[in-house]
Structure 1
Amino acid sequence: QVAERPLQVFLYSLRFEDETGVLAVQPELDSHYGRLQWLAGHGFSTNTNAQRFDTIDGAIGYCKAWESKRSDLPYDIDGMVIKFDSLADRDALGQVSRTPRWGIAQKFPAERCITRLNAIDIQVGRTGRITPVARLEPITVGGVVVSNATLHNEDHIATLDLREGDLIILQRAGDVIPQIVGLADKNAGHGDRASFAFPTACPSCGSAVLRADGEADAYCEGSLHCPAQMLERLVHIAGRDALDIDGLGEKIIAEFLAENMLHAPADIFRIINYRPSLIAREGWGQASADKLLKSIEAARHTTVDRALYSLGIRHFGRSATKAVARAWGEIEAVLDMIENMQIVRSAAYDQALGKGADSKAADAAAMKSVAEAVAIPDIGPVVLRNLLDFFSDVDNRLRATELFDQLHLTALQKVEVTTSPVTGKTVVFTGSLETMSREGAKEQAEKLGAKVSGSISKKTDILVAGPGAGSKLQKAQDIGTIQILDEKGWHELVG
C-alpha cells in the first residue's frame, strides 16, 4: 500500500559519523541552514521555504506572513519552527527532558467557521463512558469535511449552552480534531430551544448512568451486560493481571463475539463446546484449538483478588482487590460482606436524610460510614462506592456470580507485615526484573509494609528500575524527590 502512494519527503537534518573531521574540512556545515543547502546541493529534497534571519523579529514576522498563505501550500501545516542556526549554540543550550532549548514551535491559530448543530447523540464507549457527540451540518474546515465533533461531557455542553438547532463556531484543534468553541453571535431562536437533557439511563443497555462527585465523565453501570462494553470487558478479564488467559486476545474475542460464541464472561469457559468449530477455523487446526482451550482451563484456577479485579470495577485496581481479598477471605465471604455494606449504606443514607441532609450529602455520609465499618487501609469511600454500585446492578451481580462459579478460587492469606526500611512507603517496580518476578517483588514489598503502586506520582517514595525502564523512570527523574534503585539496590535496602 505504501508503494502505491505518491509519497514525498523533506529532509530537515543531517548528521555525520565523524562530525569533528567533517567540520574541519567543511566549516560551512556548522549550521543547520548550511546543512540544508548541502542536502539540496546533493539532490535531496528539502523545504525551499526554510529561511535564515539575523534577528528573532525577522523570524517571527516570517511565520506570521505564512499564517495567511498556508492554504497555498500543496500540504497541510499547523505552524512553523524557529531554531538556533548554529549547531555549536544548540549543543551549548542543550535540552530540558525531551524539549530542546534551542527551538520553539510557532503554532498558527486554528481556522474557524460557522455551521449548525443538528443534533446531540450519545455514544457509550468500551469502558462505559458516556460521550455526547455533535451531529453537524457538514462543512469544510481546513480542507476537511466535518460533520461530527465530540462534546466531551455534560458540563462542556452546559458551559457552552449548546442546544440542538444552534449555529456554532467550529475549528479543528491543532488543525486535526473538530472542536466546537462556542455559539455564533447571530443565533436566532436559541432561547426558545430546549436545553439538552443528559441521559440518566444507558442507551445501549438501559442501566443507570452515574457520575461520581468531582468527576467530569459519566459512566454506564451495566458493566458486564452492556453490549457496548462487552468487548473491552472480556479483553480485560482475559488480561495478564486478571485471569491471564494466554492466546485469548482482543482480535479473537471480537471474532467470537461476532460469531455469537460469547455473550457473557462465564461463556469464556464454555468455549470448549465449540471445539470442532475452533479446529475448523482457517489457520487453526487441532493444535491451536487445544492450546487455547488448555489455557482457558488453566485460568479456572486463580485467586479471589484476580477474580475481583477481572470485573473491571472503576478504581478497584490490583492493590485494592488484594486488600479486600486478604481482609474478607473466600469469595462467598466477600459477596456476603458486600451485601452487608449495602445494608449499612442504605441505613446511614436514610439516617442522614432524616437529619435534614440533601441527597448528595446523605450519600457522602453513608459512604463515610461504610468506609469506617470496612476499616481497610487505603480502601476509602470512592473505591467502596464503585464496588457497591457495581453489585447493586442485578445483572452485574448475576454475571459476576456466574463467572465465579466457573472458577476454582483460592483465598489470599493475610500478610504478616515485618517492619523494614520500606514500611509505610510507596514503591513502584518498572522494567525487567532479573532475580524475581514482578508479582514476587510486589508480595515481598507488601510483606515489608510497603504499598505497591503501578504509577509514578509525587507520593511515590521508591522506584525500582530494571533494564528497559522507560517513561516511569523518566517521570521519577523529573519529579526529583523519588529514590531510584536498581534491583541490587533494592535487595540491599530490604536486606
Structure 2
Amino acid sequence: MEEKKVEQRVKDLQNLLNQYNYEYHVLDQPSVPDAEYDQLLHELIALEEQHPELKTEDSPTHRVGGQVLDMFEKVEHRTPMLSLANAFNEQDLRDFDRRVRQAVGENISYVCELKIDGLAVSLRYEDGLFAIGATRGDGSIGENITVNLRTIRSIPLRVKETVTFEVRGEAFMPRKSFLSLNKGKEERGEEPFANPRNAAAGSLRQLDPKIAASRNLDIFVYAMADEGKTGIRSHSEGLDFLDSQGFKTNKERQKCKNIDEVIQYIEKWTENRPDLSYDIDGIVIKVDSYDQQDELGTTAKSPRWAIAYKFPAEEVVTQLRDIELSIGRTGVVTPTALLEPVRVAGTTVQRASLHNEDLIREKDIKLGDYVVIKKAGDIIPEVVNVLPERRTGEEVDFHMPTHCPACESELVRLEEEVALRCINPKCPAQIREGLIHFVSRNAMNIDGLGEKVISQLFAEKLIEDVADIYHLTYEQLIQLERMGEKSVNNLLKAIEVSKDNSLEKLLFGLGIRHVGAKAAKTLAQTFGEMGKIQQATMEDFISINEIGDKMADALVTYFEQEEVTSLIQELQDVGVNLTYKGPKPVNIAESDSVFAGKTIVLTGKLEQLARNEAKEKIEALGGKVSGSVSKKTDLVIAGEDAGSKLTKAQELGITIWDEEKLIEELNS
C-alpha cells in the first residue's frame, strides 16, 4: 500500500473505531457487530505496528493496554480533589440547605447525582487530547494511572473541541464485570475481590495495563475541576457540556429547585438502588450556580456548596468471639471485636471497632454475645448494640489488662483521656506502628513499603527505627516473602526518591504528638530547616498562630530527647533532606506587593488566567483569596459575566479591577 494511502487508512480506522467506541460505551447504541469492530481493530494494530510513527495519542489501540510500568509517578492536582461532608438523615440535609440559603439567599437550585461506589480520578486534557489521568491520592497529589485509564473505553481520548481543562470522574466496575471477574478468580483458586469498588481500585493500580484492559471497567464523569475558557457558569451546564464533548455522564441526575425535591430524589433512589447495574452508596447534592459555589467557598477538607447523603448502613447480627487489643504509635490501647464472619454491605466482616473500654462498659458487651454490627459510612465496621435476650449464661465479662500486651509495661490513663496508654517509648508495637506511619502517603510516601512489608522487616529485626529504612539492601529485601527482583528494585528506588521530600513530610512522618500534616507544613515554612526547629523554645513555637500550648510543649519535649537528636543526625548522614522546599510564606510587614495582607475575591470568567492559577499567584504574593464579598474584602477581580459578587462589591464601594489590571500588577 502506498505511504499516503496507509496514512489515510490509519486515520480512517482511528476515527471510525473511536466513533464505534462512543456509540457502544457512552450512548449504549452500537451500530456495528462486535466481530466487525474486532476485525477493524486488528487491522489498525497491524498497520500501526508496521508504521509506529502513525500511532497517535488518541488511537483506539491504546485501549488494549501498552508497555508494563516499573512504578506509578506522582501527579500534583491543579485543583485539589476535596472530599465531601456527609449527611446521614433528613435533618442533616435541611441543616445544609439552611446554611446555603443563609450565605447566598433564597434563589438557589441544586443538582442531585448518584454517588458511584468506585475510585475517584482526575482526567487532564491538553488542547482536546487526553494527557494525564490520576488517582485522588491525598487530594493534592495522586498517582499517574494514564495508561490504565486509557483502557476504559468510555473515556474519550480526544474531545470534540480543542479545550484545555481538567475533569473529575468515578471509575467503577459494573456488577456484571465484577461477577465474571470473581468467577474466574475462584476457578483459578485465587482469592476473590470483596466488592466492585475494591476490584476497580485494584485494576487501575496494576502496573501492567493489559490487566486493566481485561477488567471491563467503566466511568461516569461528574464535574469540571476547572471550567477553563468554556464560559460555563453552572454545574448542570457543565455536565451538558461534558456530554457534548463525548464524555459519559450519569443520566439519572436531576436539577431540584428546593430541598424538598432533593429529599424526594433521595427517597426514589433509596428504593430503586438495587435495580442499577452498578453500585451506589449515596446521593451527591451540589449547589448549581458556579458564582454561588464561589461565594460559599470551601473548608480545608470539603466544599461548603456540596454534601453527600449516605444511605443508611446495613445492619446484621453475628457473634462476638473475642476481643483483641492493639497498640497504636502513640501508645493508645484499642480493643477490636473478633466476630463470626458475616457479610455486610458487600464485604465479609470479621473485625469491628470497639474504640475504648468505656464503650465496652456502656454497651455491656460480653465475650460470646450476639451483637448488631454495621459499617459506618459503608466503610468501617462497628458494634451498634448487644442482643441480651440471646444470652445463654455462658457469656464472659471482658476486663482491660493492667499491662501492655506488647511490652508488659504498666498501662496508664492520662488526665482527661478515656483511653489507656502504654508510655514506654521502646514498646515494639508503638515502634512498628510508627514505622508504618513514617512510610505512609501523607508522610514520606514510600511506595511498596506497606504494613505487611514493614511488619516482616520489623519481625526479622532488619529495621528498628525509621533511619534503618535507608540502610536496607537488595540482599536483605530479596529474601522476604513475595518480594521478587523487580519489586525490590522498585522499593529501593522509592526509598531513594523519598530522601528528597520537603521537610514537612519528614516532620509529619516522625509522628510527634499533636503535630498533623498541616502543622508540620507551618513549622517547615516558618523555620525552614530542621536544625532551627530543634533549637526552638516554647515561646518560639507559641508565637506561631497555628501552634497552641499543647503542641508547643509536645515539640519541645520531643526534640529534647537524646534519641531524637541521634535519629535526626543519622537521617542527615544517609542523605535525607532536612530543609523546606516549598514556597516561603510572604512576610506581609516587609512585602511591597499590593496584594500583601489584602483579602481578594475573584468573580466571573478570566480569559488569560485559570481561576486556580490566579489564586496561587495572589497567595504567593501574600494575598488571601476569599470566596465571598463582605465589608472585609479589599479588592474584587471581575472577569466576564461577573454576577452577584460584582454587584455587592459595587454596593459596598470595594475597589474593582479587571483581568488586565490584575495581570499588570502580578507582573510588576
TM-score scaled to structure 2, two decimals?
0.39
Match in the other structure for 1:18: 229
Query: CA distance change for structure 1 residues 236 and 177 in 2, over 3 Å: closer, same or farther?
Result: closer
User: CA contact under 8 A between 1:466 and 1:487: conserved in structure 2?
Assistant: no
Query: CA distance change for structure 1 residues 235 and 120 in 2, over 3 Å: closer, same or farther?
Result: closer
User: CA contact under 8 A between 2:330 and 2:513: conserved in structure 1?
Assistant: no
Show the 5 A alignment for 1:194-213: 194-213=396-415
User: CA contact under 8 A between 1:115 and 1:136: conserved in structure 2?
Assistant: yes
User: CA contact under 8 A between 2:282 and 2:309: conserved in structure 1?
Assistant: yes
Q: Match of 1:11, SS?
A: strand
Show the 5 A alignment for 1:218-367: 218-224=420-426, 226=428, 228-232=429-433, 257-261=458-462
Match in the other structure for 1:456: 546
Match in the other structure for 1:7: 217
State how far apart, in whole Å, the 2-side matches of 1:203 and 1:71 are: 45
The answer to whether residue 248 in structure 2 is matched with residue 45 in structure 1 is: yes
Query: CA distance change for structure 1 residues 133 and 74 in 2, over 3 Å: closer, same or farther?
Result: farther
Deviation digits for residues 253-308 of structure 1 (CA, Å, limit 9, x no counterpart): 7665454456x67x97xx99x999779997999xx9xxx9xx9xxxxxxxxxxxxx
The answer to whether residue 419 in structure 2 is matched with residue 214 in structure 1 is: no
Q: Match of 2:257, SS?
A: coil
Show the 5 A alignment for 1:122-137: 122-137=325-340
> Given the alignment, which residue of 251, 261, 264 partners 1:61?
264
Query: CA distance change for structure 1 residues 116 and 71 in 2, over 3 Å: closer, same or farther?
Result: farther
1:110 deviates by 1.5
What letter matches 1:195 in structure 2? D
User: CA contact under 8 A between 2:434 and 2:511: conserved in structure 1?
Assistant: no
Query: CA distance change for structure 1 residues 209 and 313 in 2, over 3 Å: closer, same or farther?
Result: farther
Query: CA distance change for structure 1 residues 428 and 441 in 2, over 3 Å: closer, same or farther?
Result: farther
What letter matches 2:220 in structure 1? F
- Structure 1: gaps (5+ residues): 24-29, 239-248, 296-308, 318-426, 471-476, 478-484, 489-495
1:198 deviates by 0.9
**How many residues are matched?**
322
1:127 deviates by 4.4
1:162 deviates by 0.5
> Given the alignment, which residue of 344, 351, 364 partners 1:161?
364
Q: Match of 2:341, SS?
A: strand
Q: Match of 1:80, SS?
A: strand
- Structure scoring higher RCO (CA < 8 A, sep ≥ 6) equals 2
1:164 deviates by 1.2
State how far apart, in whole Å, the 2-side matches of 1:19 and 1:43 are: 15
Q: Match of 1:19, SS?
A: coil
What letter matches 1:231 in structure 2? R
Show the 5 A alignment for 1:451-490: 451-452=541-542, 456-457=546-547, 467-468=582-583
Identity rate of aligned residues, in percent?
31
State how far apart, in whole Å, the 2-side matches of 1:38 and 1:117 are: 52
State how far apart, in whole Å, the 1-side matches of 2:250 and 2:473 are: 59
State how far apart, in whole Å, the 1-side matches of 2:353 and 2:313 are: 17
What letter matches 2:261 in structure 1? G
Show the 5 A alignment for 1:32-111: 32-91=235-294, 93-98=295-300, 99-111=302-314
Query: CA distance change for structure 1 residues 185 and 202 in 2, over 3 Å: closer, same or farther?
Result: closer
Structure 1 vs Structure 2 CA RMSD:
5.4
Match in the other structure for 2:651: none
What letter matches 2:432 in structure 1? L
What letter matches 1:112 in structure 2? E
Match in the other structure for 2:529: 438
Match in the other structure for 1:402: none
Q: Match of 2:373, SS?
A: strand
Query: CA distance change for structure 1 residues 469 and 104 in 2, over 3 Å: closer, same or farther?
Result: farther
Q: Match of 1:68, SS?
A: helix
State how far apart, in whole Å, the 1-side matches of 2:243 and 2:272 are: 24
Deviation digits for residues 431-466 of structure 1 (CA, Å, limit 9, x no counterpart): 546xx743464478649x54458992566999xx99
1:132 deviates by 1.3
Q: Match of 2:223, SS?
A: coil
Query: CA distance change for structure 1 residues 277 and 78 in 2, over 3 Å: closer, same or farther?
Result: closer
State how far apart, in whole Å, the 2-side matches of 1:12 and 1:160 are: 42
User: CA contact under 8 A between 2:583 and 2:620: conserved in structure 1?
Assistant: no
User: CA contact under 8 A between 2:327 and 2:334: conserved in structure 1?
Assistant: yes
Q: Match of 2:390, SS?
A: coil
State how far apart, in whole Å, the 2-side matches of 1:45 and 1:86 are: 22
User: CA contact under 8 A between 2:406 and 2:427: conserved in structure 1?
Assistant: no
The answer to whether residue 395 in structure 2 is matched with residue 193 in structure 1 is: yes
What letter matches 1:438 in structure 2? E
User: CA contact under 8 A between 1:111 and 1:171: conserved in structure 2?
Assistant: yes
1:140 deviates by 1.4
User: CA contact under 8 A between 1:429 and 1:438: conserved in structure 2?
Assistant: no
1:469 deviates by 7.0
User: CA contact under 8 A between 1:128 and 1:221: conserved in structure 2?
Assistant: yes
